Amino acid sequence: MNGGCPLHGIDLEAVLRIAARTFQHPRSDGTLPRQFHEKTHACLSGTLRINPPDNPALRHGLFAQAGRYPATIRFSSSFFADDEVPDGRGMAIRLTGVDGAPDGQQDFILISQATAPFRHSADAAALFAALDGVPRMTPFSLLSRAYILPGVDPRRLRWHYLQLLFSTGFTHARRRGLHRLAYYSITPYRLGESAAKYICRPDAGAWDGLRGYRRSFTERLQAALDRGGFGFDFCLQPRASESDPIDDAGVTWKGPEFPVGRLEIPAQDVSAGLTLSDGLAFNPWNCLPDHEPLGSLNLLRRHAYAESAKRRNANAP
């Protein structure tokens, strides 16, 4: 178990070139967006309050002692600008004032899906290759037969990918606001001698008005903030056994979750933070050594996120 595991023999430079030409088309003003999660719904200020767990096996790094950290929270969509299109919704969290972290910053990158569309770096490279040259991403683009069933052997069918597309559509049909979704790290991170995944659980009784069609996610976040704000329980899901894979982001872990913190987002004006988002670059490797990202997918993200930020001149630590 280590964060420097091999990339399954993929051609890293080729994957980065595909990502740039397929997912990072210039805007009308010539600037470059993020390759993924371009659409920003809000970039908010909050606080993460750490409550150390009772179990000493979980008390490592950020979770070793009580603390309060200023947080910047960005809500986003994975591929599509239209809120009415089913999509993965992202929540990236940046903490400041973290002793021992790069520039005092710790990033957490989470998404509204418990698994990834690719299991590891080789799967990611295969999906990128299947989408290479697509002039514009649409929901139909994601139904690439070359990725879903490579070749003619039905045993190679990527069931986990089809299940993810279905669950994404189901979640969208429930029409919950972004403050009412659960968010998952998908990939594991070091925790002492073991590993853990991160999960943010919304308040069960959070108000979720404005659920009608054509109410944007930004409008619904603002409505929730106007009622006093909202929050999430920040949880660890430690690796329970060898059956919880380190290098397969298509498999959900089976162990229990343990609340270790509280993310609080108070009332504020959403529009005030939207311009801040473009200058930020989140990266799971922007972290304490105690929370080193694990698995080949995280290793690929290290290079891909840095390259995307470099191309758009964002502030990447």
Domains in the chain: ranges and CATH: 12-311 (2.40.180.10)
φ, ψ dihedrals at 105, nearest 5°: -115, 140
Per-residue pLDDT tens over the stretch 171-202: 888 888 999 999 999 999 999 999 999 999 99
Q: Tokens in use for 92?
A: 């990236």
pTM of the model: 0.92
95-108: average pLDDT: 96
SS3 101: coil
pLDDT at 212: 58
Q: Tokens in use for 105?
A: 């910053």
Pairing verdict, β 230-238 and 194-202 = antiparallel
Q: How far is CA 117 from CA 77, 125, 163, 175, in A?
A: 15, 11, 9, 22
* CA pair distance 187, 264, nearest whole angstrom: 24
β-pair partners for 234? 200, 261
Stretch (H or E) spanning 122:
helix 121-131
Residue 1 has pLDDT above 60, yes or no: no
Burial class of residue 254 in the structure, from the number of CB atoms within 10 Å of its CB (0-12 exposed, 13-18 middle, 19+ buried): exposed
- Is residue 60 within 8 Å of residue 42, measured between CB atoms? no
Per-residue pLDDT tens over the stretch 242-272: 999 999 999 999 999 999 999 999 999 999 8
Give percent of the chain with pLDDT exceeding 70: 96
Higher per-residue pLDDT: 316 or 204: 204
